[in-house]
Structure 1
C-alpha cells in the first residue's frame, strides 16, 4: 500500500513504454507515447522509504514505541532531510523530536560551518561542472576524447558534490536546532572495492537496502549462490529506485556484480600479492566513474557513445580549444580530487569549535560570497530531487 504512490508517479510510464512498449515494438506495434504527464512529487522516494522503515521497525519490535500522528508527521516531514535524505530510522529522529531542542551556542558554529561546506560543494563545484557535463551528454556523438573524459570525471565530481552538498546542508541545519542526523558519505572515492564504496556512498540507503531488502531475501545465510542472487536483486532494486529507466537497472546490476566480486575477493588468500591501497583506490574509482555513465545517460546509445569515447577513441583535434574554454571547470575537478581525502564533516565540526569565532565567521562569509558569485551563473536543482 505504501508503495502505491511511488509506483504510480514514478514507474507507470516506465512500465508502459519500457516494458509493455518494448514487447509491442517487437510485435510491430508502436507504443512510444507517455501514459501520464505528471510531475514527480518532491521527496516521494525518501518519504516512502522513511515510512517503510517506521512500519517495519515498529512491527518487528526494533522500535517498540508507536508514535502519534503528530510525531509521525514530524519524523517523516522533518524539513532538513525531507527532499534528499539522509534516510532516517524512527529511533534516529523521533526520540530527538520528543526532547526540547533549544538552540545552543555550541551547535551554531558547527552547524553553520557544515551548511557552508555543503553550499560550496553545490554552487562552486557541482553546478559549474554540471553545466559543461550537460552540454556533452545532450549531444555526445562526434565529440573528442577531451570532452568524453571531462564527462567521465566531471560527472563523478558533480554528483558527489551535489548530493553530499545537500547532505552537509541538511545535517548543518538540523544541528542548529539541536538534532543530529547520521552521516551519509565517508569519502567514497577513497574506497578500495565496490563493496567498500557502498559502505561510504549514500550510507543510509545502503543500510536501508541491507535491512529491508537484502536480509529479508535471505542475506548470506543460504550459501554463495543465493547470496549472489540476493546481492544482485538488492542492487537491481536500488538501481530502479534511482530512476525508472533501463539504464538505472543496468547500473544497479553492475554494481551488484561489483559488490559480489568484493565479497569473493575478500575471501581469497592473496598473501603478499595484494595490490597497494592506492592501486585499489584508483581502480575502484574508475569502475565507479565508468558506471556513472549509465546513471547519467538518457539511453543506452548515449551511454555507449560516452564509454567508447573514453575507452577507445583517441581524438584530440579540438582538445586545446575545449580545455581553454573550460579551464575553470577543469581546475575545479583537479581541486576536488586534491581535497577529497580530507572531506570529513567531523573535521569541519572540530575546526569550527576550536578556531576563534571571528575567524570562522569571516571564512564562512567569504565562502558564501564566493558561492553566490560563482553559483548564480549556473545554479541547478539538486540531482536527487529527481529521485
Structure 2
C-alpha cells in the first residue's frame, strides 16, 4: 500500500477508527496488529520478517538487562539479515560470480537501524523493566516502517502511552499529509517519468536532456522522499505520536557539510551518533578527517550495494573533508554576501554527484558524464521546459517546505474551510496516482 493510493487511505481510516474506539490498554496492541497487516500486504512472507525483528528486539532488551556485554553481539546479529539480503549479490558480483537474485525486503535497512538505535539506547539507560508492547510498536509502527524516519527510543517510546485519535490531531496533521501528496504525485512522479529514459540510455541524449535530467532528479528524489517523510510524520501525528523532522530545506545549504545536517536528518544524526562520534574517539587528534570519509563511505554503501554508491559516498566525503580543512563554513558565515552564490553552486555540485546515485551502475554513470560533458547542445524541448519549470517552482517555495511552517500556517485556517480543501487535494492526488502507481524512491534502500 503506497501512501498515495486509495487502498492506503482506506486502511488509514480503518486504523484511525479502530484506535479511536479501542480502550487505552488495547491501543498499542491494535497498532502492532495493524502494522503487521500493513507490512504483510506487500508480501505475505514479510509477516515472518517483521515478527523476527519484533522478537529480536524483545530478546535483545531482555539480554541487555542482564549484561551490557551482549550489545556488540546483538548489533552484529541484527545486521546479518540486512547483509544477506542487501550485500550478498554485490559481494558475489565483485568476485566475478553470478548473483543469486536475492530480493531486498521493503524497509529492512530502516528497521535494522531503528533496532540498533533501540539496543544502544537501552544499553546506556538504567531501565530494567521492559514493556514488550512498546518494543513491538517501536519496531513495527507502520508510518515509519518502509522508509523511515529512523526513530530513537527516548524520543518516541514515551509517547506511546498517550496514543489516541482526536479530531484536533486529524485537522492539525491533514495539511502536512496533503503537501506530501502534492510533492509526490504532482512533482516527483512527473519528473521521474521524464528522467527515466534519459538515465537508461544517456549516450543517445544531448546536453540539455542530460543537464535538465540531473537537476530534475535532485528535485524528484527530494520531493519523493520528503513527501514520504511528511506523510509518515502526519500519520503518526494523527495517533498523537510526534516523529522527528527528516528534511529542513536542504537545498538552501551552502556546502555539502551543511547539506547533511538538513537532508535525511534522522540517518545523518544516526550515523553521527553511532558511527562518526565513536570513530572520532577511536582515531583521536591524529586522524581528524578520516572519520568523515569513513562515515560517508558507509552512507554510500547503506544507500545501495553497488560501486556507484560507494564512489558517490566517497566523493561526498572528500569534498566534506576539504570543506572542513579550509574552514569553508566559517568563511561563508564571515562573508554572508557570498552565501547565495555558494547555495547555487552547492545545488549544482549535489546534482552533478547525484548522477552517480541515480545511475544503475558506475559504468552507466560514466557514460552519462561523458555524454553530458561532450556539450552536444541540441534543441531545448518542451519536456525540458516542463521539468525546468517544476524544478524552479520547487526551489522558489523551498524555504517554506518544512513541517512546522506548514502546520503552523495551516492551523490559522478555520477547520470548516481547510478540511474539505485538504481532503479534496488528497483524494484528487490519490485518484491521479492510482492511474500510474509509482513506488517511493527510497523503498529500494
TM-score normalised to the size of structure 2?
0.78
**Counterpart contact for 1:220–1:226, Cα < 8 Å:** no
**Counterpart contact for 1:219–1:227, Cα < 8 Å:** no
Match of 1:44 in 2: 108
- Equivalent pairs counted in the alignment come to 368
**Counterpart contact for 2:134–2:157, Cα < 8 Å:** yes
**Counterpart contact for 1:220–1:227, Cα < 8 Å:** no
* 1:359 aligns with one of 414, 417, 420: 417
Is residue 177 of structure 1 aligned with residue 253 of structure 2?
no
Match of 1:100 in 2: 162
Match of 2:206 in 1: 144
- The Cα shift of 1:281 comes to 0.4
- The Cα shift of 1:12 comes to 0.3
Is residue 287 of structure 1 aligned with residue 345 of structure 2?
no
Distance, in Å, in 2 between the alignment partners of 1:15 and 1:222 is 32
Distance, in Å, in 1 between the alignment partners of 2:301 and 2:376 is 35
Distance 1:381 1:88, change over 3 A: same
Counterparts of 1:299-318 in structure 2 under 5 Å? 299-310=361-372, 312-317=373-378
Structure 2 unaligned regions, length at least 5: 1-76
Match of 1:243 in 2: 304
Match of 2:119 in 1: 55
Distance, in Å, in 1 between the alignment partners of 2:329 and 2:300 is 28
Is residue 347 of structure 1 aligned with residue 411 of structure 2?
no
Distance, in Å, in 2 between the alignment partners of 1:4 and 1:244 is 15
Match of 2:49 in 1: none
Is residue 77 of structure 1 aligned with residue 140 of structure 2?
yes
**Counterpart contact for 1:47–1:76, Cα < 8 Å:** yes
Distance 1:269 1:214, change over 3 A: closer
Distance, in Å, in 2 between the alignment partners of 1:207 and 1:66 is 27
- The Cα shift of 1:269 comes to 7.2
Q: Indicate the SS of the match to 1:183.
A: coil
> In angstroms, what is the RMSD of aligned CA positions?
2.1
Match of 2:86 in 1: 10
Structure 1 range deviating more: 146-155 or 212-221: 212-221
- The Cα shift of 1:369 comes to 5.0
Distance 1:273 1:38, change over 3 A: closer
Is residue 262 of structure 1 aligned with residue 323 of structure 2?
yes
Q: State the Cα deviation string for residues 35-86 of structure 1 (Å, max 9, x = none).
A: x22211111101110111111111122x745533322111011110111111
- The Cα shift of 1:354 comes to 1.1
Is residue 154 of structure 1 aligned with residue 230 of structure 2?
no
- The Cα shift of 1:372 comes to 3.7
- The Cα shift of 1:284 comes to 1.1
Q: Indicate the SS of the match to 1:182.
A: coil
Structure 1 range deviating more: 190-199 or 351-360: 351-360
**Counterpart contact for 2:226–2:246, Cα < 8 Å:** yes
**Counterpart contact for 2:209–2:384, Cα < 8 Å:** no
- The Cα shift of 1:146 comes to 1.3
